[in-house]
Structure 1
Amino acid sequence: MAVLFTDTVKAVCSNFCAHVKPSTDVEPRFLNYVFATAYGQGLTQAAIKQTTGIQNLDTEAFFSSPWAYPPQREQRRIADFLDTETSKLEVLDDRFNKLTGLLEERKAALIAACFTYQASDEVPVLPLRRAVKRWIDYRGATPEKTESGIPLVTAKNIRNGRIDLEASREFVAAESYADWMRRGLLEVNDVLLTTEAPLGQVAMVSDTFIALAQRVIVLRANQDVCSPQWLYWYLLSPQGQAELQLRSTGSTALGIKADRLRGVPIPLPTLSEATQRLGQLADRVAQIGTLQRKLAAQRALVAERRQALIAAAVTGQFDVTTASGRNVTEGVSV
């Protein structure tokens, strides 16, 4: 990934960053768009050394790649064109981003309302240990990772209320799965909670054929008093998140100790009332989810349009002096 540094303050590169100074006959903005094209077309990935873990760019191989570029005057025309057209797309993306934020705020408000009670409601509030019948703690243990096998769920894979295996693709060997999961095998509807880095991410298990890494704890609901769904949504709620934060410790990475986690208060209405409240919540959250997916699809289309426009312009697939930015990428390759 590449960005153009345009500030006037003194700055240095941190880890995993490199400073590239263009030649005198190369327009910096044009070069930045070239790097974006190289990344989008997979040319950068071809110079990556390894396939797993933190991938490092072989800069010698990458910068040894041949490339053709027009005269500097033409580079500037292309950069001017792309600056104008991509800024329009950025305005659209900003609007999509704001709408996504508003939907998240609305979702949080709905979840909070589900767990809000008046003093007159007389709903018992008990420590979490009363709502959980089994705790399976995988903190302090790191399995031997392999390039294939059983998907390994780390704290990075638990986000936005679900397990996202694409966020970090790591595995444990199938033959060592049973031994690694000896602390306890998963069951459907078990609730997963990240206890550190980050604290408070929640997911519910639907596929038990996964392995768990450190900083993840399994909460199995005591269904005599609390459904797994009630436990899941409460831990996701602003109230549940606030209680976790209140009991957290640490200066750089917040975490929560087992005894403090067990003491987190949770409202426990009757199972029938909880089911009724969750039913209303699920319908509304589903509506928001539909809107969020539509927005995500629109943002993806804008990103594709931006990438196609940049690639077509820097590779000379159309003349920017006669292009308006509309339909200029029809029929071009990406």
Structure 2
Amino acid sequence: MTEFVRLKRIAQVRYGLGQPPKLAIDGIPIIRATNVSQGRITTQNMIRARLSDLPLHRAPLLDEGEILVVRSGALTGDSARIPAKWSGSAPGYDLRVTPDNSIDSRYLAYCLLSRPVIDQMKLASSRAAQPHLNAEELGDTKIPVQRLEDQRRIADYLDAELTKLDDLANKKRRLVRLLNERIDSRILQHVGESEIVRSDGGSPTLPIRRVLMKVTRSAVAGSGVITAYRDGQVTERGARRSEGYTMSASTEPLGQHVHVGDVVVHGLDGFAGAIGTSEAYGNCSPVYHVCTPRNGGDSWFIGRLLRLLALQGYLGNFATSTRERAVDFRNWDLFGRIPIPVVANTEQREIGEWITQLRPLRTAIERSEALTAERRHALITAAVTGEVDIAAASGRNVTEGVTV
């Protein structure tokens, strides 16, 4: 039988760090909101601090089985259980939940990811101008609680079934990763054979302005916002998530139009990978360089080449100034003087075809991952609320219908 109990009756709810400590490259990991993703701990943008600089009297290091809940921002309410791998890390600036002996920590972590609990947290966090959840509000959240032995059985079932979903998603991501590695390896081979690497006898280079022509088109009313993301995708912002690009650029006037196939370079964030070839029509900010290939070059190849040169640190060597963490390339004359390898158009087109062939596969995988996420939420919700008979469901194939 399921009973709904307030979280504060079965767990202690506390805050993490009040203020960020002095950071260190080789210190204790600090798990923040950016490291919490739908029940998982990720290493994206993880920061560290020395143990001596952490206020352990106020925020002790995390133990396995504790749960972090994001307390503010777009990800408010998202949560993840601390596995053994991250035990001994420091809590970030969010809420930490320490279950008592009456509840299985894995089961509680799944409850916090279920639709009824997420809806309660969203309602509580929406009372402020910006999404925000405090310890009292989280503590008042009602959790579906079952007998301890049933909790463990449900957690075991979800552990096994969600692993199947995760394994399927990982196989698809690995396929795309291998195909991208093949493309990058082929391009970097040309870089390695050029004068950039081999000063004596390397293949020739040309300044970027001899390979690309900067264009300026008037903005078209009603068009979407084109954004260069740091993973190399350039597309209409409404087609993607809200992170992965520099917010400062989004507030600037949308002063130029972009066509499909244009090479787009972010003048400040390009060094971090915000370079690529546009997949959509729309308008973009003046902080971008919008370019078309000269002499029959392939825009998909050139966009990928420039991004790789940026990520390798090569383009940054030619910068004369920086703003915060950004290498400043808003000056086209400066950027256009940078030498890049000369690659035959036939080779450019072949590699460009590889790149374009990846696009529909990537789109299919993104749809599949969205379906997997929905299936994941539905499965968790049904299990913790008692809507599904765990014994009967154990033989069911949860990955059915979640294919590319």
Instruction: Give yes or no for TM over 0.5.
Output: yes
Aligned equivalent of 1:88: 164
Q: For residues 268 and 125 of structure 1, what CA distance do their matches in structure 2 show?
A: 5
| Structure 2 partner of 1:286 | 356
Alpha-carbon spacing, 1:326–1:206, altered in 2? closer, same or farther (3 Å):
closer
Instruction: Give the aligned residue type for 2:160.
Output: T
Between stretches 280-289 and 241-250, larger displacement belongs to: 241-250
Alpha-carbon separation, structure 1, partners of 2:263 and 2:291: 6
1:1-334 residue pairs with structure 2 within 5 A? 1-7=78-84, 9-15=87-93, 17-38=94-115, 42-49=119-126, 55-57=131-133, 60-112=136-188, 124-134=204-214, 157=229, 159-165=231-237, 166-168=240-242, 180-181=253-254, 185-188=256-259, 190-194=262-266, 195-196=268-269, 199-205=272-278, 209-212=282-285, 216-221=287-292, 223=294, 231-236=302-307, 238-239=308-309, 241-242=311-312, 243-247=314-318, 253=325, 255-257=327-329, 258=331, 261-268=335-342, 274=345, 276-326=346-396
SS at match of 1:180: coil
Q: Report the AA paired with residue 261 of structure 1.
A: F
Structure 1 Cα separation of the partners of residues 291 and 280 of structure 2: 15
Greater share of residues in helix = 1
CA deviations over 1:31-74 (Å, ceiling 9, x no partner): 1001111389655433333899x743355445434443212222
- Indicate conservation of the 8 Å contact 1:2/1:36, yes or no: yes
Deviation string 1:153-208 (CA, Å, 9 cap, x unpaired) is 566x45433225133299xxxxxx9x935xx5335354321333862322345666
Q: How many residues align?
A: 300
Percent identity over the alignment is 24
Query: Greater CA deviation, 97-106 or 287-296?
Result: 287-296
Offset at residue 266 of structure 1 (A): 2.5
Report if the CA contact (8 A) 2:117-2:142 is conserved. no
Contact 1:126 1:266 in 2 (8 A): yes
**Is there any run of 5+ residues in structure 1 with no aligned partner, and where?**
137-148, 171-176
- Where 1:326 maps in the other structure, the secondary structure is coil
Residues 239-265 of structure 1, C-alpha deviations (whole Å, 9 max, x = no match): 565332444687983524446533321
1:122 deviates by 9.4
Change (3 A) 1:168 1:263: same
- Does structure 2 retain, via aligned residues, the 8 Å contact 1:187–1:205? yes
1 or 2, which has the higher strand percentage?
2
Is the alpha carbon distance of 1:71 and 1:118 closer, same or farther for their aligned partners in structure 2, counting shifts above 3 Å? closer
Return the alpha-carbon distance in structure 1 between the equivalents of residues 121 and 271 of structure 2: 30
Deviation at 1:125, TM superposition (A): 1.9
Evaluate the alpha carbon distance shift between residue 151 and residue 23 of structure 1 in structure 2; reply closer, same or farther with a 3 A threshold. farther
CA contact (8 A) 1:132 1:220 kept: yes
Change (3 A) 1:251 1:234: same
Question: SS where residue 115 of structure 2 aligns?
Answer: helix
Equivalent-residue separation in structure 1 for 2:157 and 2:225 (angstroms): 45
Are the aligned partners of 1:193 and 1:200 in contact in 2 as well (CA < 8 Å)?
A: no
Q: Within 1, Cα distance between the matches of 2:88 and 2:174?
A: 32
CA shift, 1:316, in A, is: 0.4
Q: TM-score, normalised by structure 1?
A: 0.68
Q: Which has the higher contact order (CA 8 A, sep 6+)?
A: 1
Could you give the per-residue CA deviations for residues 213-258 of structure 1, whole angstroms, max 9, x where no partner exists? 7xx431434746867556434324x356533244468798352444
Residue deviations 1:251-293 (CA, integer Å, cap 9, x gap)? 9835244465333212456xxx52x334322333333334444
RMSD, aligned α-carbons? 4.4
Quick one: distance in 1 between partners of 2:399 and 2:347? 50
Instruction: Give the letter aligned to residue 309 of structure 1.
Output: L
* Whole-angstrom distance in 1 between the partners of 2:91 and 2:374: 29
Write the letter of the residue equivalent to 2:306.
L
